[in-house]
Amino acid sequence: MLKRYAARRPDPWELIAIAALLFVPGVGMLLQRKPMIAYPQTYRAELPSIGRHALEIISPDIAHIFGVVAIIFAAVFVGLYVYVRRVNAHDPPPHVSEHGHDRI
């Protein structure tokens, strides 16, 4: 599957973009020193026990775990990018007739 993907794309920049979208928030999560607090978007009348002042707290330790996981996934995507570039550099480009497009 990766060889077919590499044959279609000489430079799979999408993999680097995905890695960046994972790496930047991962670093942000690693830099957290205080609990993260999220306020609810809307007030729900059917849940009076929660109310408007409900908070969701994520501890710094949990934020660091999520950050490490995101950075690991970013490293996997960078490794996949390097692998696809290496496979693409060693294989010659496919001939037109190999794909069934040999119409004249």
Q: What is the pLDDT of residues 28-56, one digit of tens each?
A: 999 999 887 766 666 555 555 555 555 66
In a domain, 3, yes or no: no
pLDDT, one tens digit for every residue, the chain (104 residues): 666 665 666 678 899 999 999 999 999 999 999 887 766 666 555 555 555 555 667 889 999 999 999 999 999 999 999 988 888 777 665 555 555 555 55
DSSP state letters, 17-54: HHHHHHHHHHHHHHT--S-EEE--SS--TT-TTT-TT-
Is 52 in contact with 32 (CB distance < 8 Å)? Answer: no
Is 74 in contact with 19 (CB distance < 8 Å)? Answer: yes
- What's the domain count of the chain? 1
In a domain, 104, yes or no: no
In a domain, 35, yes or no: yes
In a domain, 63, yes or no: yes
pLDDT of residue 37: 73
Contacts of residue 101, Cβ cutoff 8 Å, sequence gap at least 6: none
pLDDT of residue 3: 64
In a domain, 99, yes or no: no
pLDDT of residue 11: 78
pTM equals 0.65
